[in-house]
A = this chain, B = another copy of it.
Amino acid sequence: MQKDPVYDIVVHNGTVLTLNEGFDIFNRGLVCIADGSLKRVEDRPASEPPPSARHVIDACGGIIMPGLVNTHTHAAMSLFRGLADDLPLTIWLNDYIFKAEARWLNPERVYTGTLLSCAEMLLSGTTTFCDGYFFEDAVAAAVQKSGMRAILAQGIVDFPAPGVPDPKKNVAEAARFIEGWTGKTPLITPGLFCHSPYTCSEETLKEARRVADEADSLFQIHVAETQEEVKEIQQRQGASPVQYLDHIGVLNARTLLIHAIWVNEADIACMARHRVGVSVATESEMKLASGVAPIPEFLKKGLAVGIGTDGSASNNDLDMFQEMDTTAKLHKVLTLDPTVLDARQVLALATRSGAEAIGLGKQIGSLENGKKADLIIIDTHKPHLTPLYDPVSHLIYAASGSDVRDVIIDGQLVVRDRALLTFGLEPIFDSVADLARQIASY
């Protein structure tokens, strides 16, 4: 008689990067999963067969690591990927993106665009993302379908927005979203997202903060993204954007500051005092020519920093591997110091540190007993990943999203041998292509 399997999934025969505090690496790694959580993460003698499980996955000598955490997206903006590039930010935003959003967005399209982005993220190794957009109920429905983990936030701006024609109701709409999705499904954590200190009034920001705190939700905001913003806030409020947010009392540890490019020493000290999380979005910030966030300074101050892709209308992809690569290299060349942001540091940003930045540090971001079973397997049997002296080096400097073979989230296989298991791609492709034809010929 066969014994009942002990585990739901066992992954073996690969190098396990735990991303735990000691950065333990197990060259003959074994990961055992039951009830959505990690039960064993360890080195296994080559002589010992893997423990019994419903599903035994052979990593074939590849890399087993925590799923990547994308700390800043507007997932549905995949609908506008490549619609407009190489333009000054104001023209790109006002003449293309805001117009396209106002003209074309509805819940169904946001659902489709989000599914498209979930497909892209899953197939490139992202297991958790932190989103802010409009029609966020539709985003949540798509995320539920996809099997991804996410922090989802309804956007707040003080002008008429898609789905929220009356800006007076913007915070109430976000509050409704949080209430509706709190405790609804274990993979979705609702939050709110104030667009910026220059598009939200002091009253709006304070009210949003109150709502977020009441629900113990993450308060996200774009801040200090451009020099123009800093100038404008300085003129209007007599303080830098970060210090203005501090003065009005909206900064605390349940805050994610996005971009934080044009910040000075006092701003960083203020961010550290409040223990806010920070999300950089290197490639998008480069493409829009916004500037470069001082990541090494953030890390020196002990801030939890995550890496986001931003929306794919300004990136134009959601591949976190390329984001890690570019982030590491950009800071080296700007400082003319090749030791800045080494491969381990950057891998931590995209996993454990990113998870901390968005308030999920206790659940995800590393492979440790008791944490959620969110992990990916990298196929290293490829020319560009040969030879293999150091798996961490490869992940940052040579791998790309297409090297991800399998993806497990919350103990469920969602990608197997590069095939998406949770939903079909063809209807999404057709529907998005159809919309793009309408947009292009409008």
Contacts and interface: CB of A to CB of B under 8 A. Distances in A.
Interface string A84-95: 011111001000
Interface string A357-392: 000000000000000000000000101101111100
A384 B318 contact: yes
A283 B390 CA distance: 19
A349 to B, nearest CB: 14
A89 B326 contact: no
Given A289-B332, A329-B283, A397-B85, A389 B440 contact: yes
Nearest to A337: B289
Interface string A110-124: 000000110110011
Interface in A384-433: 384, 386-390, 393-394, 397-398, 400-402, 425, 428-429, 432-433
A67 B116 CA distance: 29
Given A332-B287, A383-B120, A338 B388 contact: no
Contacts of A335: 289
B389 A82 contact: yes
A85 B119 contact: no
Given A289-B332, A330-B286, A333-B292, A85 B342 contact: yes
A381 B290 contact: no
A326 B287 CA distance: 9
A343 B86 contact: yes
Nearest to A88: B338
Interface in A303-359: 312, 315-319, 322, 325-326, 328-330, 332-333, 335-340, 342-343
Nearest to A82: B393
Contact of A288 (B78, B338, B398, B425): B338
Q: What bracket does the count of chain A residues touching chain B fall in?
A: 35 or more
A331 to B, nearest CB: 9
Contacts of A381: 429
A429 B386 contact: yes
Interface string A2-23: 0000000000000000000000
B432 A89 contact: no
Contacts of A79: 387
Nearest to A338: B289
3 smallest CB-CB distances across A and B, nearest first, come from A387-B436, A286-B329, A402-B402
